[in-house]
Amino acid sequence: MSKVLVTGGAGYIGSHTTLALILAGYDVVVYDNLSTGKAEAVLPPARLVVGDLADTAKLDRLMQDEKFSAVLHFAGSIVVPESVENPLKYYLNNTNNTTELIRLAVRNAIPRFIFSSTAAVYGMPETSAVTEESPTLPINPYGRTKLMSEWVIEDTAAAHPDFSFVILRYFNVAGADPKGRIGQSTPDATHLIKVASQAALGRREALHIFGTDYDTPDGTCIRDYIHVADLADAHVLSLAHLEAGKPSDIFNCGYGHGYSVREIVAAVKQASGIDFPVIESPRRAGDPPALISNPARIRATMRWEPAHDDIEGIALSAYNWEKRL
């Protein structure tokens, strides 16, 4: 049984991937400072070690003791407006800590590294459906820090032939475990479907739509939404890809089609049966009108076949989880 380290494994995407790894037969150790993650999201038999990425001595000891075959790195800061207001936090947490984690992985001869990146590295693409070859021109510190981490990973692999990687660029992640075991538990999360679910349950006074005058069919932004369970499966396939000796690579993670903000609101209203209030607000800076993935590479290379490409089902799983919190 391969033993893997999952940083940030008590968080939203990390906990779903930890569950998928367990079900695939891996021995999983989660390393998380619980600043946004929840200890109860780390389901047995996965083991939780509470610690901060900045504590390199603790991380080094853990790697020496456990002899991991791979690192799956989720720990990081992800809120775009916060990255603009507090860029140093993002450069320290997302880039500096990732660089130190990679250094320790090389030092301890951990041969495989899977990185949680983002479509934010593309910035404001000229075409709505982006490929992995699309220009990377991030427009905020969040996207820049993720792209810088990608460069560190690629340069490290070039210098160390025994170090291989998969970088996964996420589009809009949503939903919860279909069996209701785990979900998005961060109370101040900014994910649209979660915020809409909170509005449906009266935990927010209303849902704000930021911008209704975009050059899209209904005037609101269009995004590619991917169910978190499908994204978790992509990580398991990525690990198997590297274990099979396949080359390092970068992959978009999305469905290849999008939904507008208004369509998402309608889906959550249908899932909840509640006509919650919606407020139309001015645009936010830096929001492209449409951002959709081209997932051809991951489908062809890893035979990744999404099981939850259904916006009504995604909305319902998110709403049902929100009711349980």
Identify the pLDDT of residue 253.
98
Among the residue ranges 2-16, 48-62, 73-87, 130-144, the one predicted with the least confidence is: 73-87
Q: What amino acid is encoded at 102 in this protein? A: I
**Span 149-168, mean pLDDT?**
98
Q: Read off the pLDDT band of 189 (50, 70, 90).
A: confident
Identify the pLDDT of residue 104.
98
User: How far from chain centre, in Å, is Cα 241?
Assistant: 19
3-class secondary-structure state, position 37: coil
97, 115, 105: which is closest to 165 by C-alpha?
115
How much of the chain exceeds pLDDT 70, in percent? Answer: 100
3-class secondary-structure state, position 236: helix
* Average pLDDT in the chain: 95
How much of the chain exceeds pLDDT 90, in percent? Answer: 90
Nearest-10 Cα torsion for 262, 121, 176, 255? 70
211, 224, 237, 234: which is closest to 119 by C-alpha?
224
**Span 210-227, mean pLDDT?**
96
Identify the pLDDT of residue 80.
83
**Span 245-254, mean pLDDT?**
98
Above 80 in pLDDT, residue 187?
no
Identify the pLDDT of residue 302.
96
Residues 63 and 56: their CA atoms lie apart, in Å, by 10
Above 90 in pLDDT, residue 190?
no
Active site residues: 142
Residues 279 and 322: their CA atoms lie apart, in Å, by 21
Q: What is the pLDDT of residues 84-138, one digit of tens each?
A: 899 999 999 999 999 999 999 999 999 999 999 999 999 988 887 899 999 999 9
Q: What is the pLDDT of residues 260-311, one digit of tens each?
A: 999 999 999 999 999 999 999 999 877 888 999 999 999 999 999 999 999 9
Measured CA distances, 31 to 18, 37, 90, 170 (Å): 11, 11, 19, 21
Identify the pLDDT of residue 126.
84
